[in-house]
Amino acid sequence: MAISRTEIVNKSLTMVGANPIVNIDDDTQNARIVNRVYEIALKSILSETQWNFATRRKLLAQVTDTLEWYDTGEIYVYQRPNDCIRIFTANDRDATWREEGEHIISDTNDLGVRFVYYHNEPSKYPPSFAEAFTDKLCSDIAFMIVNSKTLAESFLTKYEQVSLPKATAENAQVGTPIYQKDDAWTKAKLGTTAEV
């Protein structure tokens, strides 16, 4: 059965002891409060790790914007993807790149990135992510809706120590592990030039 935004919100409201809503856009106090925190809470949990279900790869488009000055060799200016929450890797492991505002500055032509995007389709969330997100919402709404700092803190603790670690662990167990290649310093220390 597909999960909806309203189901996630209602589970959170129920868990903190509040009345459920019909729709997140309702003109009720609970809906208005949840609507204010939902997007920020979702962006926050999406930024926690490289979620497999919310990862995209994109070759970046260079922009015509010029910078006031450039770091040595970093002459390529790219547009940061609009839906990007957090960039994790580039297609060239030797590339130097950095985010500056809406731009990505690099020393590499044809730069591509792997990033987590703003994925707001709960029907495609893994169950462990949906559980962690529910706990995150509970921690954000408990004080505002039921005026309980203790309840908010207990859900934050559950999120940080139980549901988020469980979700990230399950996320890490999907597919073949990606290992970081040894750099030149490590190879020299080990006395080898072969890939390890």
- Structure token pair of residue 134: 């529910």
Does pLDDT of 2 surpass 90? no
Q: How many domains are there within the chain?
A: 2
The pLDDT tens digits for 51-78 are: 999 999 999 999 987 888 888 888 999 9
Average pLDDT value for residue range 126-133: 97
127-146 vs 29-46: helix crossing angle, rounded to 10:
140
Instruction: Kindly report the number of other CB atoms within 10 A of residue 177's CB atom.
Output: 7
Same domain, 75 and 44: no
Same domain, 60 and 113: yes
Same domain, 104 and 132: no
Query: What per-residue confidence (pLDDT) applies to 64?
Result: 87
Per the domain annotation, does 113 fall within a domain?
yes
Candidate from 29-38, 39-48, 118-127, 187-196 with smallest mean pLDDT: 187-196
Per the domain annotation, does 150 fall within a domain?
yes
Same domain, 104 and 129: no
pLDDT top residue among 193 and 27: 27
Average pLDDT value for residue range 128-156: 96
**Cβ contacts of 9-17, under 8 Å, gap ≥ 24:** 9/34, 9/38, 9/137, 11/134, 12/134, 12/137, 12/138, 12/141, 13/141, 13/145, 15/134, 15/138, 15/155, 16/138, 16/141, 16/142, 16/145, 16/146, 16/148, 16/151, 16/155, 17/146, 17/151
Same domain, 59 and 150: no
* Percentage of the chain modeled with pLDDT above 90: 78
Per the domain annotation, does 161 fall within a domain?
yes
Q: What average pLDDT does the structure give for the chain? A: 91
| Residue ranges making up the domain that contains 104 | 55-118
Per the domain annotation, does 37 fall within a domain?
yes
Per the domain annotation, does 59 fall within a domain?
yes
Query: What per-residue confidence (pLDDT) applies to 68?
Result: 86
Does pLDDT of 39 surpass 80? yes
Same domain, 113 and 149: no
Does pLDDT of 193 surpass 70? no
Query: What per-residue confidence (pLDDT) applies to 67?
Result: 83
- Structure token pair of residue 117: 């995007």
Same domain, 10 and 106: no
Question: Could you give the C-alpha distances from 160 to 54, 122, 187, in angstroms and in order?
Answer: 20, 21, 37
What is the identity of the amino acid at 71? D
Confidence of residue 188 (pLDDT cuts 50, 70, 90): confident
Same domain, 39 and 77: no
Beta-ladder partners of 104 = 78, 99
